[in-house]
Amino acid sequence: MIPVAGFEGRRVMVLGLGRSGLATARALEVGGARALCWDDSPEARAKAEAAGLTLHDPARADAWEQVAALVVSPGIPHLYPEPNKWIARAMEAGVPVDNDIGLFFRSLGSTDWHMHDQPPRVIAVTGSNGKSTTSALIHHVLTECGRPSQLAGNIGRGVLDIDPPADGGVVVLELSSYQTELARALTPDVAVFTNLTPDHLDRHGGMGGYFAAKRRLFAEGGPDRAVIGVDEPEGRFLANQMAEGPTDDRLIRVSVDRKLTGPGWLVFARKDFLTEWRKGRQVASLDLRDIKGLPGTHNHQNACAAYAAVRGLGLSPKDIEAAFHTFAGLPHRSQLVAERGGVRFVNDSKATNADSAAKALQAFGRIRWIVGGLGKEGGIASLAPHFDRVAKAYLIGHSAREFALQLGETPHEICETMEAAVARAAAEAEPGETVLLAPAAASFDQYPDFEKRGEDFVAHVAALP
């Protein structure tokens, strides 16, 4: 655990008692603060009380007296689509608002670090799509290369629940916009920006607010090295802001759209090869075709970002390539779960929006597509250029009929449930085809989260006769 520093003997309110909230409360107590805990859910409060934590109702008249800070769980909106009432109360009382990521960065360094031969490092990854795979791949490469590494944040363990990093250790953080938007300290050694596509716009008040939340990772603390995907205008803008000039190698530009040129540090993927250029010359090239854990262009972008991040720490291209070959991929992200009679079954339940579903559709050939759920703005209309890859779509969930209209002449069938969709797709699939779960929608109409949706897909595939 990382003890929270700076609040010894003071009262700190913790709002939201999920995984990160409970870890935050414990880390505050270990650091000498008094954690005052609250959640609107009675079940969450009971769990915290059973763990020995102190409950503190923010509705009490004296609730905010002598409170040094309010620490908010990432899932709680603080400004858009409307201010949370308790966060608004804290702001009225002049109580600083932070989250566990901010506490982590202000508390990470310890007095014994001067004894380390190599001080610990933090690599933080953000972006719209691919940040989980990129973070996991970085962690995997570091581990395979003998560097002690921990994976935390929006993936793996809660950020304050990790062990204090050892000599030469690396903490790899996946950070969502919900986490970067509020943290009062953001000081990674290496910051990674994968890409930007519309998502969570109600939470951030539009695309500009969403980008601003991501940009804070780079603007607040100034990382020693920035790895930035430049395939969108926002990425190019951010890269321009971070670099002092064309040869500034504190910035590594990443692309899968085109060959990058210039005197800077560049990593790009073209025709299934990852290439690194530096100071106007090629220094490495990796063949991505046989790396089963990284199929498709979207995973090649993840590979480029991960490669650049660990190259920034001094790992060799040869060692990175070897580690890539042992990466199995993440559950629910282009995960090959079975091959039956020449048909592949792929679980990409994490494809919760149209852009990530587009990347999944581009990764495979002739597809039996299981799609649907709680649709987002625009549905699947933007995916029309990829419908020629779809042999047939099998529609599930709340938005099944809306998506059916958007499919037009593409063969489709409304199945409603995952069980029915898997059964129909498997029965009709021919050798060489892929049954792909890429919902392009949220899961909350039928499942508590995308993981449960993916697990249901896997279970029904396993149960096929």
Buried b (16+ CB within 10 A) or exposed e, 242-253: bbeeeeeeebbb
CB-CB contact of 409 with 340 (8 Å)? no
133 among annotated binding-site residues: yes
Nearest to 14 by CA among 151, 158, 128: 158
The answer to whether 149 is a known ligand-binding residue is no
Is 280 annotated as a binding-site member?
A: no
- Whether residue 130 is annotated as binding a ligand: the answer is yes
Instruction: Kindly state the tokens that stand for 342.
Output: 């020449």
Q: DSSP character for 261? A: -
- The amino acid at residue 142 is L
Going across the sheet that includes 54-55, the strands are 54-55, 34-38, 11-15, 67-72, 97-98
353 among annotated binding-site residues = no
**Among candidate residues 123, 129, 130, the one with its CA nearest the CA of residue 310:** 123
Query: In whole angstroms, how far apart are CA 280 and each of 245, 246, 276, 296?
Result: 14, 11, 10, 28
Contact status, residue 396 vs residue 373, Cβ threshold 8 Å: yes
**Residue 132 marked as a ligand binder:** yes
User: For residue 282, how many other CB atoms are within 10 A of its CB?
Assistant: 10
Q: Distance (Å, rounded) from C-alpha 45 to C-alpha 39? A: 6
Q: Which residues contact 217 (CB under 8 A, 6 or more apart)?
A: 124, 126, 175, 180, 186, 188, 191, 193, 223
113-122 b/e (C-beta count within 10 Å ≥ 16 → b): eeeeeeebbb
- Phi/psi of residue 213, nearest 5 degrees: -65, -40
Is residue 154 classed as helix, strand or coil in its secondary structure?
A: coil
Q: Residue 376 is which amino acid?
A: K
Residue 267's CB is within 10 A of a number of other CB atoms, namely 27
Which residues are annotated binding-site positions? 127-133
* Sequence ranges of the binding site for ATP: 127-133
